[in-house]
Structure formats: structure tokens, C-alpha cells
Structure 1
């Protein structure tokens, strides 16, 4: 029985060794909305994008000016909710643009809002308005007040005197946004049960005869966590590498690139090193297949050994039965000794002697 269970125990131990260690707390999740109004004189364009855990799930199509869903699990009801929310902040951005009398030249107004679930289980919300890429005014949902830059003081005074606006923002950031995120997460988890390997590519940009820039691209990978570094002769070039933040693709994957300035003569000494969960799983899968093949080879020998033992046992048992029958036959054919009765006139003595003989 132990021999039969050994491959299963080995396989169970192997799979157990591949399970990653537990982490304290829960993963961090976020739902973020970005609305942007770009105006120039009397013309303007409006853009919006909604991201769940930095993955775009919906956006405003600037050609058709309609909300476009990017994930299959969002239905018509969710689309209507997104359109209603977009209408609110589109109105706010238009009001800010007119209130500030910034009608000449190219200007950008942006509203960024959302909520998050942190690793320790706490919740948070945020709402910021930016002007030309700079902070303009932000909402503090804890004290229901607005924090404004000097150029936004008039806006702060007006909005602080509108309790309904502050209450609306607080309810959405602390309740509705969290509820929607918790509703979206199971769908996202189910649809993103995948691991995409990063595709690496290195390009070279010549600056002059003594300077080149090597750029390492990693794209099309999921999940987001990745480590990319330039190596020189096996040593990490941590301080020489210029990193760019990991950014999402429209298909739910990510990309990143890092660059390094080198002397063209040393080009062959540099290598781009990537570490990603998909690459680890690929190596582990190969290891599992190799060990499983060894297990299969071992299990293939076991039946032969068992059959051999059974055959030996059967032959031994058969030989033992033959020997036993032969011994019994010999015992049964042993002639009994002849018992001679001596003549006696005493019948009692003959009877006693007859009783003793057996």
C-alpha cells in the first residue's frame, strides 16, 4: 500500500511546494474615473476613461461622443450609470472653464475621482480638479471642505457654500463608488484568470560616436507586477537604468520600458533581465512535467514488480502444495507395525495389553 501511494504523496508534496506563501491582508483595489475637457477658443473635445485596478473598462469615444464598454461583463445598466456620472462632471468642467474666463488659447480641465480598498481593509475616496495639468481644487470627504490653490479661491468659496455638492460627493466616494467596485471585482477576477508572458524587445538609439541609448521593452504581460533591469556582465545596473512606470494596454495587459546610456564599444556586455510571474510559472510547469515524467517512469516499473512478486508467490505456493501432498502420501502409506499377541490364559491381561497397544 505504501508503495502504491508513494507517487501520489510525491505529487502532492510537489504541488504543495508550488503554492505561494500567504500574504497578510487583502489585495489593494481601486476604481478610478478620469474626465478631461480640452478647449481652444470656441471649440472643445471631451475624453473620459474608467479604470478598475488600473485596467480600462470603459471610455468615451471622442468620434461618436458615446460611452464605449471595453469589457464583456458590463451591461446596459452599468453603461447608463457611467453615462449619468459622466454628465455630472462634464457639466462641472464646462462651468469651471466658463467661470475662470479662460476662453483664449488651448486649455485643459480634468476631473479625477475614485475610491479604493486598501490592504488593511480600510476604504478611501478622492476627487481632484486639475487645470492645464496642475492641481486646482480638491475635495476632502472627511471634513466636507475644498482645498484650493490660490487661483481657485473663488471656486472654493462658492462650492463651500453649497452643502448639497459636498454631500453628493461624499455619498458617491464613500458608498456608491465602493459598492460598484465590489460589484465589478468578481467579474474582473473571473475574466482575468490568466497569465500572459511578457514579450521582450531591445532597441538602440545612436546619440553620437561615443554614446548610445539601449531601450528594453516588455509588453503584453499580465499580471501587472514585473521586474525589469539592465545587467552588465551579470551585475545589475540599478542606478544607471532609467525606468518608465508600468502602463496598461487597451486589451487588459501591461507594458513597460527601461533605458540605459552606454558606450557603443561595450554594447555586447549588456543584457535586459525580466522577472515576471508568467516566466516563473513557465519554469515551474517545465519542472512539474519533468518530475511527472519521472514519476510515470517509476509507476511503470511498479506493475511489473508486482506481477513478478505475484508470480513468484503463486509458483512457491504451488510447489509447497505439491510437496505437502507428497509428504501426506508418504505418511499415509507407511505400513503399520505388526503386533504379535503372546499366548496367555489370562483374559484380563490380554484385554489390558490390547488397550495399551494403540
Structure 2
């Protein structure tokens, strides 16, 4: 099988769309992946954990341990990380064993193959916990487990590949619907208070000039919580149109806060006619940002790309394929 057909279903944003996080709802999610090359299952194991769409855990393959990610996670007890590490190491063994079994039934074993498991629990506004488990082989849905009356289902084309539906259903009920939903409720005891905090944004403005003599101004806000924020460029005391601004998404930065940016392109000499106003819902105040020159090489502290968690954004890893959208 060529690389173009091997999809590592790692863009957790797709699951966030599936799960959602409406007011009053919460979610705990683990995303795990193992690989094989030319018929041999690799030892490398990729895993991340997300609580209410925020990364709180990443798996260190070299140490064979789950490591905390972000300020909330770093305050959890050592026993918590022993439990997380034990569970992930066990999942790693099970996934590698399952991938080897799947490969034994494949006519074409060459090339690169992936098996991904996504497990977790949702607590909706009705406060009822609902566990879920999804398995993907080469990016195609192999197994889906949801609370009764759905249970675990296999696509018709996968029935020959996995003759263990009952065993997987038992695992789903005991571990996913039981242990993980209990863990989510336990984590929420300290997480809820943590997410009710307010952290105002740090803001800076940078500018650069292109070959056509136009000036690019970027207003960056980072390190803020909660997520709601307004970043708008003004020209002559009037807000510029959205078409004149290049907007960045509001993204998690991996430590429990968010970052975003807005960029405009104006003729040189008009810098003093514009300013950036940042209003954050947490402190309900407007930030007027002076246009002071800042060298781009001094901005290493600010990330304009998502953090590389556990090597998942490494070019060698990401170049394998495009992420499919979940068909659930």
C-alpha cells in the first residue's frame, strides 16, 4: 500500500467538532496511534490526552510515560500520572497486537499502515456520562462503540477483519464507559475551578515590509483565558473592514491558554494612522497597542503554529497523508 493511502487520523480538531463542548458539557479524549512498515509493527507509540478540548497529556515514547502538559495538569498528583502511564502502555501493547492481527489478514502488507484508537467520555448538559471508542485502520473506520442501545458496531467490510466484536464490546463497557467516565468526573473537580479563572492577554505588534514597499502589521494576543477575545485593527479611529484583515484562528497553545492574531497590509508611511484594539472578555477592557518597531527575530517566544505535541507535527509524520473527516 502506498503512502497516499495511509492516513494517520491525528487531527484531533475533527473529534472536537464531533464531540462539541456546549455550555455545561465536558469531554475527556485520548488519541493513540501505532504504525507498521512492510509488515512489521513498529515500537513507536503516539498518544495525547484532551480535557475539554485542551491538551493536558502527551506520551513520551523514550521514557514510556505519560507527561503532564499545561499548568493544570502539572498540579495533578504523581499517582495520577502513574495510572495514566500504566493505561497508555497497556493500550500500546493491545494496539500493536491488534495491528499485527489485522495485517495477518491483509493481502498487501507492504508499505506503511496505521491503527488509531480514540477513546473518551462525554458529559452533556443532562450530566449523564457517555463513553465512546473509535478504531481506524489506515484512516478508515473499523469499529465504533457508543452507549446503549448502540453498543459496538463494525462496518460490513470489516466483519472479516475483526471477529472479536463481543470482546471489544466488553472492553468498551468495562474501561471506556466505566473507568474513563469516572476519570472525567474526577478530573472535573479541579478542572472546573481552573477554567473559571481569568487570564488577560499579552499583546504585541510587529511590522515588516515586502518587496513592493507595503507594510505588514500583525497584532498578536497570547496567553489569555477564557477563549473569547476581539482583535480589531482601526484606521483613522474607525474599524477596518474584515476583508482588509487577515485573521488567525483562536487556538490553544498547549498550556491551558489561547493565542490569536490579526494582520493588515498598508502603504509605507501610514503606520501612524492605524492601531490595534484588543478586548478580552475576561477583563472587559480595551488594549490600545502602540506601533513600536519590533524585530521579528526577537519574537521566538510567540508561536504562530500549534505546539509540537509528542512529535505529532513533525514533518516526517505529517507528510504521510491528509486527515479524513469522521463519518459518524
SS at match of 1:86: helix
Q: Which residue of 2 aligns with 1:145?
A: 152
TM-score of the aligned structures, taking structure 2 as reference length: 0.61
Summarize the alignment of residues 297-308 of structure 1 with structure 2, pairs less than 5 Å apart.
none
SS state of the match for residue 242, structure 2? coil
**Equivalence for 1:136:** 141
Shift, 1:113, TM fit: 2.2
For residues 256-278 of structure 1, the C-alpha deviation after alignment (integer angstroms, 9 at most, x for no partner) is 23445x34346555543322233
Distance of aligned partners of 1:271 and 1:281 in 2 relative to their CA distance in 1, 3 Å threshold: closer
RMSD: 3.7
Which residues in structure 2 correspond to 1:1-358 (within 5 Å)? 27-37=24-34, 43-70=42-69, 71-95=73-97, 97-98=99-100, 99-100=102-103, 105=111, 108-130=114-136, 134-141=139-146, 142=148, 143-146=150-153, 148=155, 153-154=157-158, 156-159=159-162, 161-191=164-194, 194-204=197-207, 206=209, 208-209=211-212, 213-233=216-236, 234-260=238-264, 262-265=265-268, 268-280=272-284
Higher helix fraction (1 or 2): 1
Q: Which runs of 5+ in 1 are unaligned?
A: 1-24, 284-358
Residues 169 and 159 from structure 1, CA distance in 2 versus in 1: closer, same or farther, beyond 3 angstroms? farther
C-alpha separation in 1, matches of 2:58 and 2:202 = 27
Relative to total residues, which structure has the larger strand share, 1 or 2?
Answer: 2
Alpha-carbon distance, 1:237 to partner: 3.2
Normalising to structure 1: TM-score of the pair?
0.57
Shift of 1:180: 1.2
Aligned residue pairs, count: 253
CA 1:122–1:80: 2 relative to 1, 3 Å: same
Structure with bigger gyration radius: 1
- Asked whether the 8 Å contact 1:128–1:135 carries over to 2, the reply is no
Distance 1:96 1:203, change over 3 A: farther
The answer (yes or no) to whether the contact 2:153–2:165 under 8 Å persists in 1 is: no
Helix, strand or coil at the partner of 2:284: helix
The alignment partner of 1:79 has SS state of: helix
Tell me by how many angstroms 1:183 deviates.
Answer: 0.9
